[in-house]
Amino acid sequence: MVSVLVTGGAGFIGSNFVRFALDAHPDWHVTTLDKLTYAGRLETLHDIIDHPRHTFVRGDVADASVAAPLVRDADIVVHFAAETHVDRSILSAGEFITTDVFGTFVLLEAAREATHLKRFIQISTDEVYGSVAEGSSLETDELKPRNPYSASKAGADRLAYSYFATYDVPVIITRASNNYGPYQFPEKVIPLFVTNLIDDLHVPLYGDGGQIRDWLHVNDHCRGVDLLIESGINGEVYNIGGGNHVRNVDLTHRILELTGKTEALIRHVADRQGHDRRYSLDTTKLQALGWAPRARFEDGLAETVGWYRTNEWWWRPIKDADPAFRAYYEKQYGKTRV
């Protein structure tokens, strides 16, 4: 059995990856290490938590007593665990440094001592390039992160590289664009807007809504990571982008159409501080290994809206009943803003 450690596997992309990996690799045993922060939920793993080739460990990546033995036992580490929401990093950045930077350091230190580790996949993000006015970012472009989240991810990204360059840890770094799909926490724009609209609530569109994101279906992201485990080159960085560049205002109109609601529900609110205008990735390097995104955005978005419609059991306890989420929501949007 190949021993695979997935950190952050109770979150959005991590859980999709664990599901994908158990299905695609009958010779893998997957261990999920997750702290179960506000964003991590066992419900998200409901169908695979008891899978015979899956073990769940609740723990913090920044706690070496839990994380280091798991890294030392692994053949492959896929490190998704992070604080991930830009708006939360603007409200309070401390946890981003502790988890995204220090937590990555703890895992890398353990990886130095691992005897049979073949891959350490550092899941970075396109946000490390900063706002890209025109053209598309290449892996060799300068990093210009502009918010506490992306700066913490850039720190982890380069720290991971340094452990390859200095200690020969078999690190590969991925920088993906905005993911969408099932089980995304309803603080991020697509699930927030879809679930608000299902309930006839306003959707808070920041600023002029002209910001552009490049949407990547989470399954295509999982396929990209999987291919890199198989065929990537250690020490290299790979962009993973969906090639679907959409303005937020256009995304909002598509979601209104898919939910059958009118634009009267759009509420224009104050812009995010330091809001990155545009992200765009050049994915030639990954495509050269044989990867291409499969999901058409129109279809993927419709399916995703359908998933939130039929899986209210998953998001209603968060949005309607979790006091921590309500507190965040009011702090972020205020009762008057939405």
Taking the complex as a whole, the smallest distance from the CB of residue 225 to ligand NAD amounts, in Å, to: 10
Helix/strand/coil for 38: coil
Which DSSP string do the residues of 202-265 spell out, in sequence order? -EEEETTS--EEE-EEHHHHHHHHHHHHHH--TT-EEEE----EEEHHHHHHHHHHHHT--GGG
Does 82 participate in binding ligand NAD (rule CB under 6 A)? yes
Count CA atoms within 13 Å of residue 316 on its CB side. Answer: 7
The CA distance from 136 to 129, in Å, is 10
Q: Determine which residue in the list 164, 185, 193, 325 makes contact with ligand NAD, applying CB under 6 A.
A: 185
Q: Which residues pair with 307 in a beta bridge?
A: none
Residue from the set 40, 155, 242, 293 that interacts with ligand NAD by CB under 6 A: 40
**Residue closer to ligand NAD, measured from CB, 34 or 220:** 34
The 171-210 site mask, x for binding ligand DAU (CB under 6 A), equals ------xx---------xx--x-----------xxx----
* Alpha-carbon span 338 to 205, nearest angstrom: 9
Do 79 and 122 meet the contact criterion of CB atoms below 8 Å apart? Answer: yes
Q: Which residues of 44-76 are buried (b: 16+ CB within 10 A; e: fewer)?
A: bbeebbebebbebeebbbbeeebbbebbbbbbb
Tell whether residue 102 is a contact of ligand DAU (CB under 6 A). no
Alpha helical stretches, state H, 74-147: 86-91, 94-95, 104-113
Q: Which is nearer to ligand DAU, 77 or 151 (CB)?
A: 151
Q: Which is nearer to ligand NAD, 7 or 196 (CB)?
A: 7
Q: How far is the CB of 31 from ligand NAD (least distance, A)?
A: 12
Among 4, 19, 34, 56, binds ligand NAD (CB under 6 A): 34
Among residues 34, 83, 100, 149, which one is catalytic? 149
Q: Does 191 bind ligand NAD (CB under 6 A)?
A: no
Rule CB under 6 A: say whether 213 interacts with ligand DAU: yes
Q: Shortest gap between Cβ of 38 and ligand NAD (angstroms)?
A: 8
Q: Residue numbers of the site for ligand DAU (CB under 6 A)?
A: 84-86, 125-127, 177-178, 188-189, 192, 204-206, 211, 213, 248, 272, 279
Which residues are the active-site residues? 126-127, 149
